[in-house]
Structure 1
Amino acid sequence: MMFSEYDVIVVGAGHAGCEAAHAASTMGSKVLLITMNMNTIAQMSCNPAMGGVAKGQIVREIDALGGLSGIISDKSMIQFRMLNRSKGPAMWSPRTQNDRMRFSEEWRLALERTPNLDFWQEMVKEILVEDGRTVGVRTNLGIEIRSKSVVLTNGTFLNGKIHIGEKSFGGGRAAENAATGITEQLISLGLEAGRMKTGTPPRIDGRSLDYSKMEEQPGDENPGKFSYSDTQPLQKQASCWITYTNDTVHDELKKGFEKSPMFQGRIKGLGPRYCPSIEDKINRFAERERHQIFVEPEGWNTVEIYVNGFSTSLPEDVQYRALTKIPGFEKAKMFRPGYAIEYDFFPPTQLNLSLETQLIQNLYFAGQINGTTGYEEAACQGLMAGINAHNKAHGKEPFVLKRSEAYIGVLIDDLVNKGTQEPYRMFTSRAEYRILLRQDNADIRLTELGHQLGLASDDRLKSVLDKKQDVQTLLQQLKKYKVDPADVNESLTGFNTSGISEKVNIAHLLKRPQLTMKEVKTFGQDVSDLLDQYTIEVQEQAEIIIKYENYIEREQQLAEKIGSLEDYKIKNDFDYDRVKALSLEAREKLKKIKPETLGQATRISGVSPSDISVLTIYLGK
């Protein structure tokens, strides 16, 4: 028999689908990953990069839990940068520039090495539903494949429509067909759907560019990496480049506005506010004389260039003429034009925090189907959906991360409780506990949870427990080790900070903004020898804890106080109409979202503090 019954079927092999399939199969489920094209597994459809502000924290969290995005990023990176180093550690965000072809290849090889995981190349036309629960899928060939749970990660493929100027045609990605059937079926079953839009810039032949007219953007001098495992940092790096548009570029683009599908109303879906097309930028920010363009290589062994900042759906001839007016692009050769794509999504307020749909049991959504944008946002949803699809198939409780535990928890909580009217992108500002949710401590926060799930290995757990112990030991030593004024005052003056009048422990001195571990090492050979016993990561962790101790403690107390509301469980069938003192809006929102706890109810738009007070009293009775 070609197909047996599976525990989990994952539909789609983008970033969300790959993480979902890997998680469920690693945890012990028999998994089938169905994709329309085995050659585009984990394809980087947009820019060849991972991480960035807040997104880098998410990749670290995926890695800490036992997912693969961090490892694959490390294996395929061509440049590493830690963004926002000039700001506090809550803002530090790792980012890699990646080799697009190697990224996809490494993901496929990793999945093929994953036990319990099968593959099938075909379009899924329908979800099999019996008695309000999914029991499998039906493919384009009419094949029925049974499973205990299904994860949909359809990306931009659900009724995808590509726009270039006045031309439009069906497609889920350039040169790939759209997926049809699923949206219509889910609507017929009672789910609500909407349309969103995203876009991509033209790709250019790097041999035709004049880099002497651009600013070089090299990687970090001492490159880091994403994964807490033993992946290797880069020994050599490729540079990116920066150039700018100008009034001439803008004038050329404006000539095509009358043929713009966005301005002429042919595109109905809302695009990402924080990653607008170039025509949207010059229309919305008419006062700006120029916009930044990042010139990003697609890999080590290709000449293809990604023109970050020039996303567009204008006619291809308009795109080309405008590009050649950008400094360094005068003789540019275009590989393919940019385009916009519209696709179906399902408002995520129809989900539980486990990412299971409220209407159909055992059916999970992850990625752009939930209204998000970005590889990292998709990957972390896929990881969580894969974990929970496995748990459901084996009669286990859902796994849900709190807002105080991870950016992943913030993202899913935002989606389920607030929904989104435009493609959702993660920012550090969305996290109220961002001092706790730093990129440097994701392993300390989450690896033990990943190990309990069966995702993070024994070696990973041992490594993080050793790190925690080393950090505590180093902190104790720094608090005990006192330095003499005669030995350090000259150094302190040299670092633009005042001297000391009596012996002071090193931890006290490290609270000063002028001093880091690097400066402290100059206090004498004994101090240097002490610090050299520990890894750079342990030293960094200890320094952050010392410098921000009061802030960290304050946030932890706040998280614990608010977290107590999560202990108030609300039954799924709770009748809010019985609570007459609730406002009408609160009643409607609570009935629609069906919060699992009182804490979740506090985060629903339209539910006021007075509504929460009423609900608390009622639940207390």
Structure 2
Amino acid sequence: MFNEYDVIVVGAGHAGCEAAAAAANLGSKVLLVTMNMGTIAQMSCNPAMGGVAKGQIVREIDAMGGYSGIVTDKTTIQFRMLNRSKGPAMWSPRAQNDRLRFHEEWRIMLENTPNVDFFQDMVSSLLIKGNTVYGVKTAIGIEIKAKSVVLTNGTFLNGLIHIGEKRFGGGRMAEKGATGLTEQLVELGFESGRMKTGTPPRIDGRSINYAVMEEQQGDEDRGRFSYSNVELPKDQRSCYITYTNEEVHGILKEGFDRSPMFTGRIKGLGPRYCPSIEDKINRFAERTRHQIFVEPEGWNTVEIYVNGFSTSLPEDIQYKALTKIPGFENAKMFRPGYAIEYDFFPPTQLNLTLETKRISNLFFAGQINGTTGYEEAASQGFIAGINAHQKVNDLHEVILKRSEAYIGVLIDDLVTKGTEEPYRMFTSRAEHRLLLRQDNADIRLTPYAHQLGLISDERLEIVQNKVKNSDDIVSFMRNKSVEPGEINSLLQEKETSPIQQNTKVFNLLSRPQIDIADLVNNYAPLKEFVNGFDKETIEQAEIKVKYDSYFEKELDMVSKLQRMDNQEINPEFNYDQLVSLSKESREKLKKIKPRTLGQASRISGVSPADVSVLMVHISK
């Protein structure tokens, strides 16, 4: 029935879809196995992509030839660039999406990707010989052979859904959980744990009074996620903001004695940065209200996502409290919120390629590694799919550095430090975030992806032209001077010091009060020079000018840290011979088996003194 595949991907969520597409586009013959073909790339929680740091990840995936950015752009119902009031390192694109169209577009793209086959069934076990995986076995007893396997099981491994005192098995509402794999992996020596996530109730938008809420429109000058020329929807839909109040909090507290979170029925640890409404009330008792984002789920549906009201309280308490929120007085509930517990495997059991240390050719990606979020999952799937292909074809492994991509930060954090709670990406996790901006993801990563074979010559040429053109604009501003009479009226209007003599355009743009649009509109030679350049190229030039000195310092820091990351450690290095290492460091180093001295220095519990000892021995 089946020939042998190069890569089998188990699970068709965001991680699985990117894994299948990446491996197939590199030339592998791929089988994507899912329990339900109707839920490929399902947006189980909020129908939105991007956000702080997450938006950078989606742009990085796109810059390397992944599909998430393209699908997001095609199905966007609202786009906003977050943190525009801050520096460019903090700018983060976010899109509200049409849930049904997002799934549909992903399926269309996968079905139009050569080398991708599909099969609907549950994978109940892996086929293992020695310490190498060679395929999977499904619930109906079919064995399918493969050279590598990527597990992207999401919340389905022994998934357990909680609503108040009710609990039942499931990987998502109305979908059964997956059994068998956890038990087999534990028997093989893997360590497993439990995590928890949640989702809010869904509401009939026809029953909501938007007039009492704050309207939140999309950006007028809207952006995009994909660097390719995807046609964007012409219109946008508004979201709305309302707030809870003390009456709402009082009603919710009535259900605390039936809350699975407070009564101990939920054993898994939930995401600290995306708490349930009951957790917010409990942890921030001094606050009299919490923000609620009222977000549409698509163009042609009345279903509304109540962002900020994630809960696993009894459904009667949920509904009673909801009706006390301004605008929800007559709300009709489509379905209650719920919490879900599921199995994960601490990611310190992985190499930086996302291949497991214990079983060769077996890769983990997504929530199975303890992460939360579509974007985090998609990026792991993308890298796992690439490395699965590379491994079975005896090609070099692909590991992005922390200084190259948020994806590199994410995977290094997981593999090196592990996680005890659902891991979510933030800009603060990236020490080089000034270099890892959403605007330059193509410049950072597209040449690398082109070498792999994931990016066409045409797309590489576009990036090369962007770099050349932005450099030309910067060079023009370095060499062109402005006379006081040409520019002082603008400087006074912007409340910055007028100039007394001819001054380089570069120096004027370096002032925080002045942006490049000001100079283009008030200095004709610059306006003439940039005419014909696209918005992103001009923006790139402006960022280069304004942050020139900061970039130099950042690159110098990267260079210094890179020296440690270039000092490789033999995977078979005997740490027990280093008696001067602390006992904790020795155990951590033996468990993680860091690839480089830099990675060793980032392991929690390994002190700078221990790193110095290790450095001396590696040098010898």
TM over 0.5: yes
Partner Cα separation in structure 1 for residue 150 and residue 189 of structure 2? 18
Task: Find the aligned partners of 1:235 and 1:434 in 2 and give their Cα distance.
Answer: 32
Q: Give the superposition deviation at 1:216.
A: 0.2
> 2 CA distance for matches of 1:330 and 1:506?
57
Instruction: Give 1:267's aligned amino acid.
Output: I
- Give the structure 1 partner of residue 32 of structure 2: 33
Q: 2-side partners of 1:143 and 1:87: how far apart?
A: 54
Partner of 1:590: 589
SS in 2 for 1:90: helix
Within a 5 Å distance, the mapping from 1:346-495 to structure 2 comes to 346-495=345-494
Kindly indicate whether residue 111 of structure 2 is the aligned counterpart of residue 116 of structure 1: no
Cα distance in 2 for residues equivalent to 1:491 and 1:468: 29
Relative distance call for 1:234 and 1:489 in structure 2 (3 A) is farther
Question: What per-residue deviation string (whole Å, max 9, x for no partner) do you get for residues 99-152 of structure 1?
Answer: 000000000000000001100000000011111010010001111111110000
Would the aligned equivalents of 2:133 and 2:149 in 1 still touch at CA under 8 Å?
A: yes
2:81 matched residue in structure 1: 82
Look up the match of 2:496. 497
3-state DSSP class of the match of 1:615? Answer: helix
Larger mean Cα displacement after TM superposition, 373-382 or 493-502: 493-502
Q: Secondary structure of 2:133's match?
A: strand
* Alpha-carbon shift at residue 234 of structure 1 (Å): 4.2
Aligned match of 1:222: 221
Contact 1:491 1:522 in 2 (8 A): no
In the alignment, structure 1 residue 199 sits paired with structure 2 residue 198? yes
SS in 2 for 1:343: strand
Specify the alignment match of 2:263 in structure 1.
264
CA distance in structure 1 between the partners assigned to 2:84 and 2:511 by the alignment: 17
Shift of 1:525: 2.8
Matched with 1:69 is: 68
Q: Determine if contact 2:474/2:541 at 8 Å carries over to the other structure.
A: yes
Q: Distance in 1 between matches of 2:481 and 2:617?
A: 57
Deviations 1:565-594 (A, max 9, x none): 122111111111111111111110000000
Two-structure CA RMSD over aligned residues (Å): 0.7
Contact persistence 1:223–1:234 (CA under 8 A): no
Cα shift readout 1:20-58 (whole Å, capped 9, x = no counterpart): 000000000000000000000000000010000000000
- Structure 2 Cα separation of the partners of residues 261 and 377 of structure 1: 27
2:338 is equivalent to residue 339 of structure 1: yes
* 1:534 CA displacement: 1.4
Report how far residue 235 of structure 1 moved.
Answer: 2.5
* Distance in 1 of aligned mates of 2:566 and 2:255: 57
Report if the CA contact (8 A) 2:14-2:381 is conserved.
Answer: yes
Alpha-carbon deviation of 1:188? 0.1
Report if aligned partners of 2:242, 2:292 keep a CA contact under 8 Å in 1.
yes
Letter aligned with residue 600 of structure 2: A
Q: Percent identity between the aligned chains?
A: 67
Kept after mapping to 1: 8 A contact 2:74/2:233: no
**1:212 equivalent in alignment to 2:211:** yes
Separation in 2, partners of 1:524, 1:516 = 12
User: Residue 22 in 1 paired to residue 24 in 2?
Assistant: no
Task: Report the Cα offset of residue 60 of structure 1.
Answer: 0.5
**Deviation per CA, 1:49-75, whole angstroms, max 9, x where unpaired?**
000000000001000011010000000
The one-letter code sitting in structure 2 at the alignment partner of 1:311 is S
- Say whether residues 1:130 and 2:129 are aligned partners: yes
Matched position secondary structure for 1:115: coil
Structure 1-normalised TM-score?
0.99
**Residue 5 of structure 1 corresponds to which residue in structure 2?**
4
> Which residue does the alignment assign to 1:578?
577
305-314 vs 447-456, greater mean Cα deviation? 447-456
Mapped partners of 2:42, 2:371: distance in 1: 17
Q: Distance in 2 between matches of 1:358 and 1:606?
A: 21
1:562 counterpart residue number: 561
**1:101 corresponds to which residue?**
100
Q: Distance in 1 between matches of 2:596 and 2:493?
A: 55
| CA–CA distance in structure 1, aligned partners of residues 38 and 528 of structure 2 | 52
Partner of 1:152 in structure 2?
A: 151
SS in 2 for 1:149: strand
Separation in 2, partners of 1:189, 1:398: 25
The one-letter amino acid of 1:371's match is G
Q: CA deviation at 1:488?
A: 1.0
Where does residue 604 of structure 2 map in the other structure? Answer: 605
1:548 maps onto 2:508 in alignment: no
Q: Which letter maps to 2:380?
A: Q
Does the aligned pair in 2 maintain the 1:403–1:413 contact within 8 Å?
yes
Aligned residue identity for 2:249: H
Aligned residue for 1:317, secondary structure, equals helix
Structure 2: how far apart are the matches of 1:402 and 1:428?
16
Q: Partners in 1 of 2:308 and 2:271 — Cα distance?
A: 13
Alignment partner of 2:88: what SS? coil
TM superposition shift of 1:524 = 3.2
TM-score, normalised on structure 2?
A: 0.99
Output the amino acid matched with 2:244: T
Partner of 2:319: 320
Amino acid at match of 1:324: T
d(CA) in 1 for partners of 2:243, 2:455: 44
Could you tell me how far apart the structure 1 residues matched to 2:498 and 2:239 are? 43
* Residue identity matched to 1:101: L
Check whether the contact 1:63–1:71 (CA below 8 A) recurs between aligned residues: yes
Question: In the comparison of the two structures, how many residue pairs are matched?
Answer: 620
CA distance in 1, matches of 2:528, 2:190: 63
Answer whether contact 1:215 1:243 (CA < 8 A) is retained: yes
Residue 97 of structure 1: SS of its match in structure 2? strand
Secondary structure at 2:360 match in 1: coil
User: Which residue of structure 1 lines up, in the alignment, with residue 54 of structure 2?
Assistant: 55
2:229, 2:19 → 1: CA distance? 23
Give deviations 1:547-572, integer Å, cap 9, x for gaps.
11111111111111111112211111
What is the match of residue 165 of structure 1?
164
CA deviation vs aligned residue, 1:287-332 (integer Å, no higher than 9, x gap)? 0000000000000000000000000000111100000000000000
> Does structure 1 conserve the Cα–Cα contact (< 8 Å) formed by 2:50 and 2:92?
yes
Deviates more, 1:264-273 or 1:477-486: 477-486
Tell me, what secondary structure is at the counterpart of 1:397? coil
5+ long unaligned stretches in structure 1: none
Whether the aligned pair in 2 keeps the contact of 1:89 and 1:544 (CA below 8 Å) is yes
Query: Helix, strand or coil for the counterpart of 2:343?
Result: strand
CA distance in 2, matches of 1:118, 1:344: 27
2:75/2:233 contact within 8 Å kept:
no
User: Aligned partners of 1:221 and 1:337: how far apart in 2?
Assistant: 34
Q: Secondary structure at the match of 1:73?
A: helix
Instruction: State the one-letter code of the partner of 1:319.
Output: Q
Measured in 1, the distance between the counterparts of 2:498 and 2:530 equals: 22
In structure 2, relative to structure 1, the CA distance for the partners of 1:234 and 1:553 (3 Å cut) is farther
Q: Is the CA contact (8 Å cut-off) linking 1:223 and 1:233 kept in structure 2? A: no
Shift of 1:231: 1.1
In structure 2, what is the equivalent of residue 43 of structure 1?
Answer: 42
- Structure 2 gap ranges (5+): none
CA deviation vs aligned residue, 1:425-453 (integer Å, no higher than 9, x gap): 00000000000000000000000111111
C-alpha distance in 2, partners of 1:522/1:377?
A: 41
Q: How far, CA to CA, are the matches of 2:609 and 2:305 in structure 1?
A: 51
Asked if 2 retains the 8 angstrom alpha-carbon contact of 1:90 and 1:435, the reply is yes
TM-aligned CA deviation for residue 460 of structure 1:
1.2
- Residue 251 of structure 2 aligns to which amino acid in structure 1? E
2:554 and 2:242 map into 1 onto residues whose CA distance is: 41
Could you tell me how far apart the structure 2 residues matched to 1:234 and 1:513 are?
Answer: 34
Determine helix, strand or coil for the equivalent of 2:146.
Answer: strand
Instruction: Find the residue that maps to 1:425 and give its secondary structure.
Output: coil
